[in-house]
Amino acid sequence: MSDHTEVCVVGAGPAGSLLAARLAARGRDVVVLDAGPRFDRAEDLQRVERELRPSHSRPDVWEMDQDPSRDGVRDSYSTTGEIDYKLNRARVKGVGGTTLHWGAMTPRLHEQDFEMASRHGIGVDWPIDYGTLEPFYCDAEREMSVSGAPNPYAGPRSEPYPLPAFDPSHSDGIVREAFAEHGAPLHACPRAINSEQNDGRSACMGYGTCQPVCPSGAKYSADVHADRAEKVGARIVDRAPVVRLDHDESGDRVVAAVYERDGERRRVSADVFVLAAGAVEIPRLLLLSTSQRYPDGLANTSGAVGRYFMEHPGIKVVGEFDEPTRQHLVGYETSVSEAFYDHDDGPAGTMIVQPYNDAGEYPVAAALSSRPLSGRLADGDVTAPFASDEWGDALLDDVRERTEGFIALKAWVEQLPEWENRVALDRSRTDDRGHPVPDLQFSVGEHASASLRRAESFLYDVLESAGATEVKTVVGPDEPWFAFHHLGTTRMGTDPESSVVNAQLRTHDLDNCYVASSSVFPTGGAANPTLTIAALSLRLADHLDGTL
Amino acid sequence: MKLSRRDALVALGAMGVGAGGVGVLRERAAESEEAMTDVLLAAAEVVYPSAVTPTREFVSAYAVGRRRFDADAERFERAVADLDRRARHDTGQSFASLSLARRRDVFRSLGADRAHANHGGTTAERVRYYVVDDLLYALFASPTGGELVGCENPPGHPGGTDAYQRGPEA
Ligand SMILES: Cc1cc2nc3c(=O)[nH]c(=O)nc-3n(C[C@H](O)[C@H](O)[C@H](O)COP(=O)(O)OP(=O)(O)OC[C@H]3O[C@@H](n4cnc5c(N)ncnc54)[C@H](O)[C@@H]3O)c2cc1C
Ligand code: SF4
């Protein structure tokens, strides 16, 4: 089968779906190809059960492969670098992309993030500034129905948030003064979750399972825009992984996206191609698309494709309190502080600090998981190896002990772009269709590690001032958690020698090949990336509509 | 606190088995459903804390009711039947007619007290998944069970956005 369209979009996550919906609404002919399925959202409640019952694992929920070390599987990958990264917990393949699973926190980048090199001598500057993106931030906030309130640390806004912010939680109140006392006053946390019924979707009903699934539809996910795109004429093809991009003889234009479906190879030819497959699969696709003209991969004259991978490493510190802390009553965090975002103030290094609403175990998890043997032994219970799991009143006591009286604080930090941190191909291993798998090689780096150590001491100060009787690092700077934000692997810049796309997101090498993704971020800040991805995508839609 | 049919329907609602679904029951002999309810009620009396009293109507509406719509229904039925069979094998009596202590012994004899829940696993693992854990899920994903541990809107229950803002005294 061969098809021609004006715009071929690879990937139906937020980057691809927002762009497709916008261009289709303007009468453009759009085809979207996505590697994963179209999920039946009527099955969300079964997904909730899969999430809540400890005998299932996270990647189960959206059918990501669980054992990526096996060859011949759709989602196989390698991690030959320092960090054993759980990539399949960090992404979803399917219409809606990873936003089916995401937490929907939507801060903007700050003005300084676009100018880290000129302001602070670290990283690189973006070729665009905050002001250029600001109207598109507003647009993105409207499209994703963000609930929020302005905070004193973020960049200037030209429009209010579309929906009112969620009120802080009871437990935010327990630590509020302590955050302020140590220099980081809390403020509302912007979220793409409906605080009111809006846009044909429900208000938040408090299921508390937003990550990984919101059965009420109050949490924005990009299937909203995929559906919208379809209604205005776009064609969305699921289970259609693009395996290579072919260029014309001159090497100046992409002529076809080659994908595989129902055991067949098919092609879509288009005037313009937009790669929106996420910051791991985009470089992989480019690296797979070698030719005589581009022996190191398409659009890779700079050698920067796959390079400068960044994440947001984080830590978690938990305090125990003598009072009930009212956890697990809602699925998202309701306060945050961007005060330490400023490089010059507070702990140096860009970071976000936040109280969580899910400390301790949730009741089902505590009730359904027998208490780990190691825990019982550590408590001096020598009979543990012979004991059976307790039910009835003993179980209730155990559940109480494991669910009540905790508050968790987290911080995550900026990681600087480093050439060595990368998505490469592991040619020794192949996926279900025989293509080399992505190989994620990266380490956290001294800059981010130092920020994490400063964050840890700040979080201890807060919990101790708030009256915690015991404070403990659950995830520390040496082995941080990751926010599952993938950045930097096709960086944007003015110099074709050192970057992959220009300020219009067009690849330097090819005239009609664009990238919509956090892979274009030259630096990552500490803000969660998806609102910025959405703003860049909407800006690109405008640009393409003007040039097609 | 007695667990009512209403509690069961709340729990079922959270699982998408709403009142609307109740009209499309799978065909199943009423007799086998009665028998399953007996076993599950007897099991609930073992695994639930004494602060709640499971009732026939709760167990029947929740545990049996939800499986009517479930692709896993057969495994569930098999797990319940296996538990009863083990009781008859060990004691010559049905599971439901045993004392609480003897019921515990039957779980132990099966190995369900140490098994990891697995819906496709051994008999012990399936009994753990479909009997023990299903019953605990029904309780702790519902406000009634959540309240026992100060969490009246536990994950999995759509209890709105007020609860998280309230203090413990409210
Ligand atoms: C648990 C979790 C929580 C998160 N929380 C937040 C948060 O609170 N705030 C925030 O800003 N971000 C968050 N994120 C990150 C956020 O989900 C991503 O930044 C966002 O989804 C990226 O959008 P995207 O469209 O670029 O890529 P994706 O959403 O990943 O979509 C890419 C799509 O491309 C498809 N694809 C891949 N390869 C191919 C191919 N070869 N051919 C065709 N299609 C292909 C995939 O199937 C997928 O559907 C979270 C992520 C996770 C995992
Ligand atoms: S808490 Fe709100 S947003 Fe989260 S899953 Fe529930 S309804 Fe959805």
B48 interfacial to chain A (CB closer than 8 Å): yes
Determine the 3-state secondary structure of A38 from DSSP.
coil
User: What's the pLDDT tens digit per position in A379-431?
Assistant: 666 666 666 667 899 899 989 988 889 999 999 999 999 999 999 999 999 99
Closest CA to A157 of A144, A139, A145: A139
Pairing mode, if any, of strands A351-355 and A513-515?
A: unpaired
Angle between helices B73-91 and B100-110 (to 10 degrees): 110
Amino acid letter, residue A131: G
CB A28 within 8 A of CB A546: no
- The CB density around residue A310, as the number of other CB atoms within 10 Å, is 29
For residue B50, give Cα distances in angstroms to A219, A374, B42, B112.
Answer: 38, 28, 14, 21
A94 in ligand 1 pocket by Cβ < 6 Å?
yes
B20 interfacial to chain A (CB closer than 8 Å): no
Closest CA to B109 of B118, B120, A379, B98: B98
Closest CA to A366 of A48, A54, A50, A45: A54
Backbone angles phi, psi at A408, to 5 degrees: -110, 135
pLDDT tier, B21 (very low <50, low <70, confident <90, very high otherwise): very low
For every residue of A150-165, DSSP letters joined together read: --TTSPP-SS--SBPP
Which residues of chain A make contact with B165, given a CB cutoff of 8 A?
167-170
pLDDT tier, A371 (very low <50, low <70, confident <90, very high otherwise): low
Across all residues in chain A, what is the average pLDDT?
93
The shortest C-alpha distance from B28 to chain A (Å) reads: 22
**Nearest CB partner across the interface for A392, out of B14, B46, B165:** B46
**Nearest CB partner across the interface for B164, out of A52, A329, A404:** A329
User: What's the pLDDT tens digit per position in A165-208?
Assistant: 999 999 999 999 999 999 999 999 999 999 999 989 999 999 88
User: What's the pLDDT tens digit per position in B93-123?
Assistant: 999 999 999 999 999 999 998 888 888 899 9
User: What's the pLDDT tens digit per position in A322-346?
Assistant: 999 999 999 999 999 999 876 655 5
> Distance (Å, rounded) from C-alpha A312 to C-alpha A489?
14
> Distance (Å, rounded) from C-alpha A453 to C-alpha A445?
12
Amino acid letter, residue A453: R
DSSP code of A494? S
Q: For residue A106, which ligand has an atom nearest its CA? A: 1
The four Cα atoms A117, A123, A126, A129 give a dihedral, to 10 degrees, of -50
A190 in ligand 1 pocket by Cβ < 6 Å?
no
Using CB atoms within 10 A of its CB, is residue A340 exposed (0-12), middle (13-18) or buried (19+)? Answer: buried
User: What's the pLDDT tens digit per position in A282-329?
Assistant: 999 999 999 999 999 999 999 999 999 999 999 999 999 999 999 999
* A445 Rama class: left (phi>0) / alpha (psi -120 to 50) / beta: left
pLDDT tier, B25 (very low <50, low <70, confident <90, very high otherwise): very low
> In sequence order, which residues have a C-beta less than 8 Å from that of residue A238 and are 6 or more positions away?
A12, A34, A36, A37, A38, A94, A95
pLDDT tier, A500 (very low <50, low <70, confident <90, very high otherwise): very high
pLDDT at A464: 98
Q: What global pTM score does this model have?
A: 0.91
Which residue has better confidence, A402 or A269? A269
DSSP code of A240? -
The shortest C-alpha distance from B34 to chain A (Å) reads: 24
pLDDT at A380: 67
Residues A205-212: what's their mean pLDDT? Answer: 90
**Across A177-305, where does the E strand assignment appear?**
187-188, 235-237, 242-247, 254-261, 264-275
* Beta-bridge partner residues of A438: A425
